[in-house]
Structure 1
Amino acid sequence: MTATKIQTAASDPVRQVPHLFWGAGFAAASVAVLLVLGFVINPAQPYAFDAWILRALRHPDAPAVPMGPVWLKGAMIDITALGGGTVLTLVVLITVGMLLVSRKWTTALLVAAGTVSGSLAVSTAKEIAARPRPEVVPHLVEVTTQSFPSGHSANSAIIYLTIATLLTQTTGADARRTYLFAVVAALVTLIGVSRVYLGVHWPTDVLAGWSFGTLWALAWWRIGKWLRIHHHAAIPDDEIAAL
């Protein structure tokens, strides 16, 4: 592939992450800074709105009963499972397998490295923060690990968003890429909301998870971009052209 073709592919705006996602990254960074400042000031005390939101999602006279129609509790339990370790592991394995079958070695390696390292970082952060689970309302699902950040929120953002951003480097058609981001953003949002609805996380746990996952996905998109541009000689032409 000629240098001109590589330069054209690299500068093609259709191959870039949508501007809305960069906006989400800026918002994530802002939220992360606020949460860090809050923990520095008083690490043991949750924000006032944390408890208020948890109580607002339950019936005042029956805190074990969530607000909303009867079917909503089951739906939230199903949705929260989409951010669990089993489902996310399967998603990564299926995605990496499909990329390997498609001979997109670089993207497969980036997806595997980005998602695994991100999950390890979340586990480490939970142990360091050691924030207890909220006891304001009864938990509607069983939990065993620490609370901050929300593992479901962080890992779903890390895995779904990292996969989505890296696939934009091998996917044409702006409409398809926009649709992919919209679906992933909605899924990650619902998973985080489900954790608060089920009473197993403070809202700030979820905000921190979303922030970390979004920034992590953007970081790995930049790593992939840099790798494809500066080491194009070792990358197949079809992957370089997908920049």
Structure 2
Amino acid sequence: MVIQRNFELRLLWPIVLLGLCLWGFLNLAGEMMEGDLHAVDEWLLSWFRTGGVGGAAWGPRWLPDVMRDITALGSPTVLILTVSAVCGYLMMAGQWHMMWLAAGSSLLGWGVSIALKHGFARARPDALFHGTLADGYSFPSGHAMMSAVVFLTLATLVARLAPRTRLRVYAIGVAAGVSALVGLSRVYLGVHWASDVAAGWAAGAAWAVLVWMVAHRLHLGQGRSQ
């Protein structure tokens, strides 16, 4: 009876988390389309500027460069290298099915991100805010979403191979922290509204949970590698 209850709880929490992430994304999308987030987005964007709108980003002179380095962690180049490195590890560990799941889910997540951007077609903040190069549509933030899709998804999959809980928590915690920093850097650099980033996090986290559920359903990572 206890074993059955524990099994049901293990199945329940990811479903609840997935639902919360999807609800968060849909709620943000609805509020954005109605224009209810614009005032808050503008205030947050100007808050990062000395003197408000049109001012330089606040902080020491070296901080914008640091933020550009951080935002690069969510760039396609870095994400492709990260996925390739993790897939190589999974291949060497004999986890071929998990490797294909990691590669396929990352590629499909990128496609979903592009589709969402074109579907909502929200304009970016004015170019006078931009502290780095950026083009295309704004909602959801591709860097925020894809950093969550890639780093969180890979962390949850690799965590299934970890022998201890603290190692699994560490892997997922680091991935979540990197994704959070990437998203914050997009707002600081003035290339995204804060709601774009929040929506990207919600969508990316939902994707990572969904991939974890697939891996759990297929019992991937439970066997010992050879």
Please classify the TM superposition score into its range, dividing by the shorter chain length: 0.7 to 0.9
* Aligned: 1:135 with 2:121: no
> Residue 171 of structure 2 aligns with which residue?
180
Where does 1:43-122 land on structure 2 (aligned, <5 Å)? 46-60=37-51, 63-122=54-113
Letter in 1 for 2:175: V
Q: For each residue in 1:54-73, what CA deviation from the matched residue of structure 2 results, as whole angstroms up to 9, or x when unmatched?
A: 00100117834101111111
Partner of residue 27 from structure 2, selected from 34, 39, 42? 34
User: Which letter does structure 2 place at the counterpart of 1:98?
Assistant: Y
Question: In 1, are the aligned partners of 2:105 and 2:211 still within 8 Å (CA)?
Answer: yes
**Measured at CA, do residues 47 and 70 of structure 1 come closer, stay the same or move farther in structure 2, by a change above 3 Å?**
same
Q: Secondary structure at the match of 1:63?
A: coil
Give the whole-Å Cα distance in 2 for the aligned partners of 1:95 and 1:38.
Answer: 37
Which residue of 213, 229, 243 corresponds with 2:204? 213
> Shift of residue 22 of structure 1?
7.9
Q: Distance in 1 between matches of 2:16 and 2:70?
A: 26
Larger CA Rg, structure 1 vs 2: 1
**1-side partners of 2:196 and 2:146: how far apart?**
12
Q: Gapped runs of 5+ residues in structure 2? A: none
Q: Distance in 1 between matches of 2:114 and 2:87?
A: 22
Change over 3 Å in CA distance of 1:228–1:23 after alignment to 2:
closer
| Identity rate, percent | 33
Distance change in 2, residues 1:169/1:111 (3 Å)? same
Which TM-score applies when normalising by structure 1? Answer: 0.81
Once residues 168 and 25 of structure 1 are traced to their aligned partners in structure 2, the CA distance between those partners, rounded to angstroms, is 18
- 1:39, distance to aligned residue in structure 2 (A): 3.9
Match of 2:224 in 1: 238
User: In structure 1, the residue corresponding to 2:62 is in which secondary structure?
Assistant: helix
TM-superposed deviation, 1:41:
3.2
Q: Would the aligned equivalents of 1:55 and 1:136 in 2 still touch at CA under 8 Å?
A: no
Secondary structure at the residue paired with 1:65?
Answer: coil
CA contact (8 A) 1:99 1:107 kept: yes
SS in 1 for 2:70: helix
Compute the RMSD of aligned alpha carbons. Answer: 2.7
TM-aligned CA distance change 1:206 to 1:121, over 3 Å:
same
Relative to structure 1, is the Cα distance of residues 237 and 182 closer, same or farther in structure 2, using a 3 angstrom cutoff? closer
CA contact (8 A) 1:99 1:108 kept: yes
* Secondary structure of residue in 1 paired with 2:219: helix
AA partner of residue 63 (structure 1): G
Shift of residue 26, structure 1, vs aligned partner: 5.5
Q: Counterpart of 1:212 in structure 2: which amino acid?
A: A
Does the aligned pair in 2 maintain the 1:55–1:137 contact within 8 Å? no
Deviations 1:212-238 (A, max 9, x none): 000000000001111128xxxxx9942
Aligned length: 220
Structure 1 gap ranges (5+): 1-6, 230-234
Q: In structure 2, what is the Cα distance between the partners aligned to 1:90 and 1:211?
A: 23
- The 3-state SS of whatever aligns with 1:82 is helix
